[in-house]
Chains A and B, each alone.
Chain A
Amino acid sequence: MLNYILSRILTFIPTFVGVTLISFGFIRVLPGDPIIVMAGERGMSDARYAELSAQYGFDQPLYKQFWDYLTGVVQGDLGNSFVTKRPVWDEFFALFPATLELSICAMLFALALGLPAGVIAAVNRGKFFDRALMSTALIGYSMPIFWWALLLIIVFSGNLQWTPVSGRIDLLYYFPDPTGFMLIDSLASGQSGAFKSAVRHLILPTIVLGTIPLAVIARQTRSAMLEVLGEDYIRTARAKGLSTGRINGIHALRNALIPVITVIGLSVGTLLAGAILTETIFSWPGIGKWMVDSIFRRDYPVVQGGLLLIAVMVMVVNLTVDMLYGVINPKIRKR
């Protein structure tokens, strides 16, 4: 097992270098000069420009700049933000809990609805519920996120006034945030209404971000269940006189979970990509919004470091998922 983990971590290295290179190149391909952006509307003298250029190393050839960046990264130094002057690490981990909280809620939402929906669709294969569900899932899957978000905002925030439109909590609440998770911190603060406010702020972003994973999970669960339901051990379970719920929900679902977990792992990347859009729409102060803002500000270190950290997260999640297989189906552990 340890060998396996180590060999997997070794395969991270080329990916890691690749991502570093891409993020480094990506931001430089965009038109716009970070120093000009920093100067703002007032502009700056040529002398000052040359001075700042030298300070940030932009006067060096590109390969030299990349080499300096890479050596910094390897030593754990992602540089400082051009705008706030604070280390990228610190900013990332200050904002990451907000994104994590949203992503976890979105994933739980997708699982809570997607798993049962997939199971019920498979059990009622070909009947009305199955067809209705699978068409809905297809729509959900192909829905543009921003359009879906706006629709929900218009209906639930605009017309019905049920949910707030932006932020993580009403401004009138203020409390320390030791964990960075608003749901936990608001509960810990003991202020009445704070938790409720946090939940209400979470609802729409969760739905928006969870819709695509929900569709994917429902479809994957259905097809995995259909395969498992034809297996011999399901016939055995029926021959034991077990209830349908037990057979489908325990004997079959446990086996169907393997492919489902794979798509969950794979959709972490999609989820983070979706988070960028969702956070921007709902002014959610997480790394998605932070990255978008930084791109507009041509804040090179933030964009580079942020992309790199996100990529590492995705890789770690996928490794974790691979190891989960063995826990769910011990037969896989042996290989």
Chain B
Amino acid sequence: MSLLRIRNLSVDFATASGKFRAVDQVDQDVDTGEILAIVGESGSGKSVSMLAMMGLLPWTATVTADEMTFDGHNLLTMNTKARRKIVGNDLAMIFQEPMSSLNPCFPVGWQIKESLRVHLGLNRKQRHARAIELFEQVGIPDPERRLSAFPHQMSGGMNQRVMIAMAIACKPKLLIADEPTTALDVTIQAQILDLLASLRDETGMGLVLITHDMGVVAETAERVSVQYAGQKIEEQRVVPLFDEPHHPYTNALLDALPERATEKRLPTIPGVVPGQFDRPAGCLFSPRCKFADAKCKAESPAPQSDALGRARCFYPLNTDQRQAS
């Protein structure tokens, strides 16, 4: 059985202008030791689906699902108190903005030791030793001195390492990394991704990597789930996905990769992800899809078979009938 199993997850936000579906019937599985990437443009509900699983959404959100289990625990029926024992312990998450994700009023060491005390009940000496060990593990030089530093005294890359150290403090079984490198510069991005991958190798934890960068996916992920406007529109292992994408949206994302560009200018996907007010009737991608026909604009496609990457498309690409342009 998989470590994380989500079936038919939907999230609705109550907004001033009515209900808004940010996540729409998403299935997700993550196995122990596996790296799953969730990709999609901004606003496709990647963060919200994982925050829903963590129980971190504001009260305006309504979460519904047929199934949501983590490590044998039913997250749907679990009360807040029981969930708090798991969250931050077996199930950890790091975020996009390392600078603002750490509390400016407390030294970073204090923030790490807090987790160690709350979840593992270590004493003062053990906490200190473990914090130093963690800092070494995530490659923070001079850990003894850095423990007493405040977030504003360190760089973004160092702060993200602190966040990672804090997340893996209790040896989680699953780590969700929500765009962990977006706010960092390119060389640091690669270091952080390497760090995450090597931590996975050392600890055997599952890793969910949320990103909108297909390059990151190619380098790090093993399996890829593509989300669009709240829906999961395709899922494949990373090599077949890059070779034979089935959904036109995945195809378009791959075409936008610099190394695949045939012209001088990068091809972009025209249009934007539909928001609350401009959701189209049929397939959500139809207004931007160059293959869309009348049926696409009228009916909402159901996922195809596993062999076709469960693509939500009436006319999947790279099949016997149809080759990508």
Contact = CB atoms under 8 A, between A and B. Distances in A.
Interface string B89-119: 1001101010011111110000000110011
Contacts of A242: 84, 88, 114, 118
Given A232-B95, A232-B97, A334-B152, A241 B87 contact: yes
A237 B166 CA distance: 11
B89 A254 contact: no
* Number of chain B interface residues as a range: 20 to 34
Given A241-B85, A330-B150, A235 B56 contact: yes
Contacts of A75: none
A241 B102 CA distance: 15
A237 B87 contact: no
Contacts of A328: 105
B105 A329 contact: yes
B54 interface: yes
B256 interface: no
Interface in A252-279: 254-255
B216 interface: no
B110 to A, nearest CB: 10
Interface string A289-332: 00000000000000000000000000000000000000011110
B131 to A, nearest CB: 14
Contact of B100 (A233, A241, A330, A334): A233
A236 interface: yes
A251 interface: yes
A258 to B, nearest CB: 9
B104 A331 contact: yes
A261 to B, nearest CB: 13
Contact of A240 (B104, B106, B114, B152): B114
Given A233-B101, A236-B163, A251-B106, 13 more contacts: A232-B100, A232-B101, A235-B101, A236-B101, A236-B103, A238-B87, A240-B166, A241-B85, A254-B103, A254-B105, A255-B104, A255-B105, A330-B152
Interface of A: 231-233, 235-243, 246, 251, 254-255, 328-331, 334
22 contacts: A232-B100, A233-B101, A235-B101, A236-B95, A236-B101, A236-B102, A236-B103, A236-B166, A238-B56, A238-B87, A239-B54, A239-B88, A239-B92, A239-B93, A240-B88, A241-B84, A241-B89, A241-B118, A246-B118, A255-B105, A330-B152, A334-B152
